[in-house]
Amino acid sequence: MKTKRLVRMALLIAMSYIGAYIKPFSGLVATAAFDSMPGFFAAAWISPLDGCIVGAIGHLFTAMLQGFYLTIPVHLVLAVEMGLICYVFGFIWRKSKIAAIILASLLNGVASPLSLVVFPHLSLKVLWAMVPVLVFASVANIVAAAGLTLAMPKKIKKI
């Protein structure tokens, strides 16, 4: 792995930690923060695999700062899902930017929380109640990452 790539990933992981403190959507969903924006950005700018790593670590930062309030196993599942969603976003971004934004928003905002129904302490009603906030937070993170990626000067885009 190139040093420049590692440094960029480290900076984006640090940005995820900072983003974990930015929670404009707090309330019912304590982990709805700007922690995933660097993961989506990394997936689009560097590579889907790098975005996967940054996105998963970003979710763990937010969950840790909230005391793993849904339990550690649930947040580990969510971190894996977040990583996979960032990967899918980065993969599709190279083919269709609009499709990537829409699919990642639906996966992160709807499919991911509803997949937690297998955990006995989370009811379907509670999970459905989280969906509107998570969709809004997902769209905000993804659109911010997409805008930042498109705004990057071509000279800097190449790694």
Domain of 97: which CATH number?
A: 1.10.1760.20
Rounded Cα gap, residues 56 and 36, in angstroms:
8
For 49, the domain range is 3-22+31-157
Residue found under tokens 């790694």: 159
Angle between helices 37-45 and 124-151 (to 10 degrees): 50
Confidence of residue 86 (pLDDT cuts 50, 70, 90): very high
The count of domains in the chain is 1
Of 77, 82, 76, 72, nearest to 33 (Cα)? 82
Give yes or no for residue 158 having a pLDDT over 60: no
pLDDT of residue 33: 78
User: What pTM value is reported for the model?
Assistant: 0.91
Q: Could you tell me the pLDDT band of residue 27, with boundaries at 50, 70 and 90?
A: low
Q: Which residue has the tokens 């983003």?
A: 19
